[in-house]
A and B are shown apart, each in its own frame.
Chain A
Amino acid sequence: MTHADVALGLILTGLSAYLLFGGADFGAGLWHLVSRRRRDQEVIEHAMGPLWEANHVWLIFVVVMTWTAFPPVFADVMSAHWVPLSLAVLGIVARGSTFVFAKADPDQRWYPWLFGVSSVLTPYCLGSVATVVATGGSSWLSAAGTYGGVLTTALCAYLAAVYLIWDARRLGDTTASLRFRGYALISGAAVGLLALPGAAALGVRSPLILLSAASGALSLALLIRRAYLSVRVTAGLAVASVLWGAADMAGLDLDAAAAHPAALDVVFVALGAGALILVPSLAWLYVLFQRGPGRPAGTAADTGR
């Protein structure tokens, strides 16, 4: 395994984590916009509150790893797609700031609205750029770019709905939990119908498609059987395998673009040492807020006092 392989593996791991955690936060923003029910919105705010900033750091990780390990690729992709990427990062600004503003100033009605809209804009732009890069296309406005944007946004929405079922239940809100289950079933079916023909049209010939389809179908079955924790795993697998399939299709040969091994050695050592702190901390963060004393329904919006 060359340094380039390890670096690419790390970047894909980071992207997968960003999609599975950060992506779900964007999807939650979409449901926050779509569902006008205050109870649903409270579940979303409660679930995202302590986690979204840590989830966001995966993106920074991917960006930094890309420019360190494959500088020409980073320079090329970022400058060629500067318009959608600038929109995405402004969406990140709007999403993050309006999320905390809305909590601190609940009377201002346009914060939640902006939060929802930017939560849709950001994954759309990032997904369209990723698809254009993977398919070797030119513009995010092309058919492939549009398709990739819509698909990514839908994947995020699906993941969020799946995760939120359990979050709502944890907060003791059975009706909200059932509504999120409904959202998950609808968006899951929609994503499946969107992803499979798309993969065929783009000429993806990868066993990962089968993995994605199988775990997607299994997720639907688990949703119907109300296995809300195991469906998180299978839904995550279904979504992540779409990303890996896209990376597979891109067939990136990055050896020529790779940084000098000496530059990467330091990064790998730093990440290895950092992981010793980060992995337990992250695990603690998730466990603390998944297993901690769930607040009784109705006071969810007050957390963080």
Chain B
Amino acid sequence: MSTVALLTGALDGGGAASPADFMAARQQMAFTLGFHIVFASIGIGLPALTLLAEWRSLRTGDPVYAELARRWMKAAGVLFAVGAVSGTVLSFEMGTLWPGFMDTYGQVFGAAFALEGIAFFIEAIFMGVYLYGWDRLTPRAHFIVGVPIVVAGLMSATFVLTVNSWMNQPRGFKLVDGEVTDVDPLAAMFNPATPVQAAHLILASLMVCGFLVASVYAVGLLRDRRAGRDDRYNRLGFAIPFSLGAVCAPLQVLVGDFAVRFVADSQPAKFAAMEGIEHTRAGQPFKFAVFEIPNALSLMLRYDAHATLRGMDSVPAGERPPAEVVRVAFELMIVLGVLLLALAAWWGLAWYLRRRRAARAGLPWHPWFLRAAALSGAAAVIAMEAGWTVTEVGRQPWIVYGVMRTEEAVSPEPGLRFGLYVVLVVYAFLAFATVSVLRRMRHEYEPAVPDAPAPEPSPEKTGAAS
């Protein structure tokens, strides 16, 4: 076993990664993970949206719902595949980039990944049946086959999240002379950070998927307005996913608030970085961009204007995360989250007024609402990536908080940076191809509605033409 040679090589100092390779490994992990979570989010949300449309189609026999379900299913097929293969990259990178991490702790969180593997297996099996079984199953059976995809998708996301939570709150093992003993995989999985992190990311992923899909239809609705059309297909295609995002947005604010409080208690350095606190003191001001409100942060966090909050100076110099990156990412996430919440409130208010007046015409199709909604998908993606940056960069310099530093985990193999360059090129092509394929799929299905303004079409007939 050359493990011994590898380890002694590292101890000799001859096998340590160069700073350039170390940074490259971190950037590659951040980039591939940041890429994957977008597709993973869609992989959770889009099957749910598809099932919702399919269920409505079964209940009402409305062809517009059937058409939406069919298109979303096809898009989900493509995006799920990209998500699956980009997730495989991550499981390889665990070993090719972070062997020190895996060597020591692989067994502690391995059970969570084994469970994730089972969930992913179920997802892949039923995805195959769902995508290709349209003409081999009854409509009812086809709908039922879709349910395990959604359930397994949520479970798989939760299991993966238990591992990231564990990296923030390591539990379920003891370290004796650098060796792991007393392994308890369940204690590792159910670490204190798991509930809040899992809830936060699952809501984020539903928001990303909802707002992203809605963005596409918002553009279609704006086009309809200019052409003087009223296309029911675009309206429903917008309303279903946007409602999903709008329902999650206020919940996310509550969970996010809880997450901030949790971080403040469990990872003071990360919290100090997020809020830009340099010095420990009583009555911390709330700083945001250039604004500063005296005592407000202490008041918000501890309900006590004079509560003492730890600053970056309470953490040894070698254990501080890069504060500026974390703070900017945190503020970006908050701003975008609030904007999305405002948009969701506009939608909710319009929906409520519409019900009161029992009239279709109303606020939600206001052009400024649609313009904002067309940007909501991008906003949700950026907010999620920013939040991910907060939790990952804010944990530095630790890969396992307080236990293992990231540079202890990195592979000693020379040349990792060349791997990063190749990955960047391949992923650039992958992103480009995915977008072009999706654009083509949308184009192919452009509903065959005449360009001339239809004479006040009834909602039941429009959009069903294709």
Contacts and interface: CB of A to CB of B under 8 A. Distances in A.
Interface of A: 49-51, 53-54, 56-57, 59-61, 63-65, 67-69, 71-80, 82-83, 85-86, 88-90, 92-101, 104-105, 111, 256-257, 259-260, 262-264, 266-267, 270-271, 274, 277-278, 281-282, 284-285, 288-289, 292-293, 303-305
Contacts of B114: 64-65, 68, 267, 270-271
A86 B413 contact: no
B181 interface: yes
Given A76-B6, A305-B134, A67 B94 contact: yes
Contacts of B289: none
A85 B95 CA distance: 10
A69 B193 CA distance: 25
Contact of A59 (B86, B88, B99, B111): B88
B185 A266 contact: yes
B60 interface: no
A231 to B, nearest CB: 25
Interface of B: 1-3, 6, 70, 74, 77-78, 80-82, 84-86, 88-89, 91-92, 94-97, 99-100, 102-108, 110-111, 113-118, 120-122, 124-129, 131-136, 180-186, 411-413, 416, 419, 422-423, 426, 430, 433-434, 436-437, 440-441
A94 B423 CA distance: 12
A86 B422 contact: yes
A282 B122 CA distance: 9
B376 to A, nearest CB: 25
Contact of B132 (A50, A80, A99): A50
A76 B85 contact: no
B430 A97 contact: yes
A61 to B, nearest CB: 5
17 contacts: A53-B127, A64-B110, A67-B95, A67-B113, A71-B107, A74-B106, A75-B100, A79-B413, A82-B416, A89-B88, A97-B82, A257-B1, A262-B182, A270-B111, A282-B125, A289-B132, A292-B136
A105 B413 CA distance: 40
B129 A96 contact: no
B107 A270 contact: no
Contacts of B135: 293, 303, 305
A264 B126 CA distance: 28
Nearest to B411: A79
Nearest to A136: B2
Secondary structure call for the A interface: helix
Nearest to B70: A305
A281 B125 contact: yes
A80 B115 contact: no
A304 B131 contact: yes
B111 A93 contact: no
B148 to A, nearest CB: 8
B78 A263 contact: no
Given A96-B85, A262-B185, A288 B92 contact: no
B362 to A, nearest CB: 36
A263 B111 contact: yes
Contact of B434 (A60, A64, A97): A97
Given A53-B81, A78-B102, A263-B185, A60 B91 contact: yes
Given A60-B91, A96-B81, A289-B132, A262 B437 contact: no
Contacts of A92: 85, 88-89
A127 B131 CA distance: 31
A75 B100 CA distance: 7
Residue in A67, A96, A264 whose Cβ sees the most chain B Cβ within 10 Å: A67
B106 A105 contact: no
A49 B441 CA distance: 18
A82 B413 CA distance: 8
Contacts of A304: 74, 77, 131-132, 134
B411 to A, nearest CB: 4
Contact of B117 (A57, A85, A95): A57
Given A49-B132, A60-B120, A97-B434, 10 more contacts: A50-B129, A56-B85, A57-B120, A63-B92, A76-B2, A76-B3, A85-B95, A96-B82, A263-B110, A292-B136
A277 B126 CA distance: 12
B74 A104 contact: yes
Contact of B99 (A57, A78, A98): A78
Contacts of A256: 1
Contacts of A99: 81
Contacts of B103: 71-72, 74-76
Across chains A and B, which 5 residue pairs bring their CB atoms closest together, nearest first?
A: A68-B110, A78-B95, A259-B107, A75-B99, A71-B106
A56 B88 contact: yes
B49 to A, nearest CB: 18
Contact of B133 (A50, A57, A65, A69): A50
Contacts of B84: 53, 56, 96
Contacts of B433: 97-98, 101, 111
Contacts of A77: 95
B107 A260 contact: yes
A94 B80 CA distance: 14
Contact of A78 (B89, B92, B107): B92
Contacts of B74: 104, 304
Contacts of B426: 90, 93-94
Nearest to B121: A57
B78 A101 contact: yes
B102 A71 contact: yes
B445 to A, nearest CB: 11
Contacts of A60: 88, 91, 117, 120
Given A105-B440, A263-B183, A67 B86 contact: no
A78 B2 CA distance: 12
Nearest to B188: A263
A90 B136 contact: no
B122 A281 contact: yes
B81 A72 contact: no
Contact of A68 (B70, B113, B423): B113
B439 to A, nearest CB: 9
A213 B124 CA distance: 35
Contacts of B104: 71
A71 B85 CA distance: 23
Contacts of A72: 1, 3, 103
Nearest to B81: A100
A259 B89 contact: no
Contacts of A281: 122, 125-126
Given A78-B102, A79-B96, A293 B136 contact: yes
Nearest to A292: B136
Given A78-B95, A267-B110, A93 B88 contact: yes
B81 A266 contact: no
